[in-house]
Structure 1
Amino acid sequence: MFTAALQLPDPWKVSAVEFRDGADGKSELHIDIAFATGSRFRCPEPKCGEEARPVHDVRERVWRHLNFFQYKAFIHAGVPRVSCPEHGVHAVPVPWARPGSGFTLLFEAMVVELAKSQPVADVARQVGEHDTRSWRFIRHYVDEARLYEDHTGVEAIGIDETSRKGHSYITVVADLTERDVINVTPGKDANTVKEFSLDFMAHNGDPDRVRLVTCDMSLGFAKGIREHLPNAAKVIDKFHVVKHANEAVDKVRKAEARENPLLRRTKYLWLRNEANLTGPQLEVKRNLARRRSKTARACGMRETLQDIYADSAGRAEAEAGFKALCSWMMHSRLEPMKALAHQFRRHW
């Protein structure tokens, strides 16, 4: 039954199955696999023309397999080695695992699938393995898959950085046409864009053909785009523009709340669109706005910014609205809003 379940080809078969106590005291399933006596194997070198040869010797190996119900499962086998007159002594590949791996193909496939939707450390905990071991074979499959990446014709990309709790930044590059991630590189500066361009060329991409790059207002990205994607128009995406505006509004609120306690714990009244506020929340916001608060003025600037995105009929109208908004912010005597206007103008 286990031979059939594992889909073992000749000459392999299950020779023994038993439960044993693991290092943690819990029962584990151990499956012994053997090849038939007198079996012959070909040299594993791809271009070798030698006939199948007798076994030179055997090396015992163990692989972690998919769990059998609630029990960890392990496969044990003596891996045969053959002696080739041309290529020397080589281990024969087994059908259930990659050469050199301590896991079966099915176990690796399960972990890779889980890792698509959650952190590798969480997956490793679920399956009872150390995350460093899991990362080794995940990287193998990622590197293998990337060998077949072809970026010919990619002309529009999006660049964004992310981090976990403010540490270890990585930059993600996506093909905006196909909506596929095409590169992930450590860092978030001009050198990151350089590393992307080198990898891009290694996969048939042409940096000179990239016409559009969307990104945030990072000066490092701006420098990298100028130097390594010379023909690309840089577009600051709306998400990051509004994010910076929200941060500026909240800085105004925090400063004003030191003198006006009514503004405490009202952060999201000013950062959410009014359509997303409840009736009572909207009433509180309007009452505070009637007091001519600095926060209300800053919020009005943020809302004007969103109106420019939503209502402008074309580029000329949007630019005129944007210039007027920056002038308003510069003359507002609200330092966070003035700083935001300076930031916008640096990237205009």
Structure 2
Amino acid sequence: MSDYKDWDQREHAAEWLLYPENTGPYLSIDETSLSNGELYTIVTNKAAKGRKGSLLAMIKGTQAASVIEVLRKIPKRIRSKVREVTLDMAANMGMIVSRCFSKAAKVIDRFHVQKLAYDAVQEIRIKHRWQALDQENQAIEAAKQAGVPYEPEILANGDTIKQLLVRSRYLLFKHCDKWTASQIQRSRLLFERYPLINQAYKLATGLGTIFRTCKSKEHAFKKLALWYNQVEDCGLDSFKTVAKSIQTHYLDILNFFNNRSTNASAESFNAKIKAFRSSSRGVRDIPFFLFRLTKLYA
């Protein structure tokens, strides 16, 4: 009933799809897992807002050379009209944008940058959690040898030390303004016992504040320099790694303050693709699945 047999991209659909007519001045590039862990690089047009006309390209794999080869099938005069592309910090994505959209500003997604900082906080929390587990095991063994029952320390909110470190995971991803009453109490207990986690959390939220409050690249650059100095003084190795990554990509990170663009549209589009895939479980033919997908978004 459909025109699948006459689809002009049917022969190469499993490897790549391309819709040059969907090129716009503001694009996003990201990767997603489409089927059985197979990664595809997806380029979308922000102006379409996740609807018809969103999909510019979908290319199997993430190797820069393969993606560049396909995107260069778009005439150069069309590619030259692209003014901005949002992306993550992956080197291959940066290379793709530089080679294919040479006149476009690269904007590294602020949420990828902030995630690095929050991951550094979690690394410190997890390190303390393993130490707490070791201490608990030693205490249990000592209690056995002494012939007495082991009784863990119970904190004011009812958590044990081990539970405190486990249950603090989610509050450390949130700004303190969004904590619930129980999370405020738990954070107070956590930070009193583990000042390094408190220090790391303040660094992570401080980075987010820069993106949220600064109105210009110049202002943000100064604030980032001050933040970098705080990282140097803190002595936390995980945050020094974050700072080095930011320093390496700072020009593309600061481009966020031109239009405050993020890669949220790409993440949303990827979610739609996965949802569509879930609703098409009976479709095993990848080209036919992609044909149905393009009917909605190309």
TM-score when normalising by structure 1: 0.54
Instruction: Determine if contact 2:168/2:186 at 8 Å carries over to the other structure.
Output: no
Of residues 150, 154, 167, the one that matches 2:21 is 150
Gaps of 5+ in 1: 1-104, 110-136
User: Following the alignment from structure 2 to structure 1, what is the Cα–Cα distance between the partners of residues 213 and 18?
Assistant: 45
Shift of 1:328: 1.9
How far off is 1:156 after superposition? Answer: 1.7
Alignment partners' CA distance in 1, 2:34 and 2:98: 28
1:9-88 equivalences under 5 Å are none
Secondary structure at the counterpart of residue 62 of structure 2:
coil
1:142-291 equivalences in 2 (<5 Å): 143=10, 150-151=21-22, 154-163=24-33, 167-179=37-49, 180-201=54-75, 206-260=78-132, 261=162, 262-291=164-193
Higher relative contact order (CA 8 A, sep 6+): 2
Equivalent AA in structure 2 for residue 295 of structure 1? I
Contact 1:171 1:192 in 2 (8 A): no
1:32-79 deviations in Å (ceiling 9; x for gaps): xxxxxxxxxxxxxxxxxxxxxxxxxxxxxxxxxxxxxxxxxxxxxxxx
1:310-325 aligned within 5 A: 310-325=212-227
Structure 2 unaligned spans of 5+: 133-161, 251-298
* Kept in 2: contact 1:189–1:220 (CA 8 A): yes
**How big is the shift at 1:240?**
1.4
TM-fit CA distance, 1:344 = 0.9
Q: Distance in 2 between matches of 1:240 and 1:168?
A: 22
Deviation at 1:341, TM superposition (A): 0.9
- How well do the aligned residues superpose, as a CA RMSD in angstroms? 3.0
How far apart, CA to CA, are the structure 1 residues paired with 2:79 and 2:28?
A: 14
TM-score (normalised: structure 2)? 0.62
2:85 maps to amino acid? V
Q: Which moved more, 1:207-216 or 1:162-171?
A: 162-171
TM-superposition CA deviations, 1:3-44 (whole Å, max 9, x none):
xxxxxxxxxxxxxxxxxxxxxxxxxxxxxxxxxxxxxxxxxx
* Matched position secondary structure for 1:163: strand
Cα distance in 2 for partners of 1:259, 1:238 equals: 33
Look up the SS of the partner of 1:206 in the other structure.
helix
Question: Larger C-alpha radius of gyration, 1 or 2?
Answer: 1
The structural deviation recorded for 1:221 is 1.2
Structure 1 residues 141 and 221: CA distance shift in structure 2, 3 A: same
Distance 1:183 1:332, change over 3 A: same
Tell me, in whole angstroms, the C-alpha distance in 1 between the residues paired with 2:235 and 2:35. 33
Q: Shift of the alpha carbon at 1:257?
A: 1.9
**Identity across matched positions, percent:** 25
C-alpha displacement of 1:161 = 1.1
Cα separation, partners in 2 of 1:199 and 1:240, compared to 1, 3 Å:
farther
Question: CA 1:181–1:239 in structure 2 vs 1: closer, same or farther (change >3 Å)?
Answer: farther
**Amino acid paired to 1:191:** A
Deviating above 3 A after TM superposition, structure 1's stretches of 4 or more consecutive aligned residues are: 137-149
Tell me by how many angstroms 1:215 deviates. Answer: 0.2
C-alpha separation in 1, matches of 2:6 and 2:40: 16
Is the 2:22–2:55 Cα contact (8 Å) retained in structure 1?
no
Deviation per CA, 1:117-155, whole angstroms, max 9, x where unpaired? Answer: xxxxxxxxxxxxxxxxxxxx4994875997875146x22
Whether 1:308 aligns to 2:182 is no
- The Cα shift of 1:317 comes to 1.2
Distance in 1 (alpha carbons) for counterparts of 2:18 and 2:113: 36
Q: Say whether the 8 Å CA contact 1:256–1:294 is kept in structure 2.
A: no
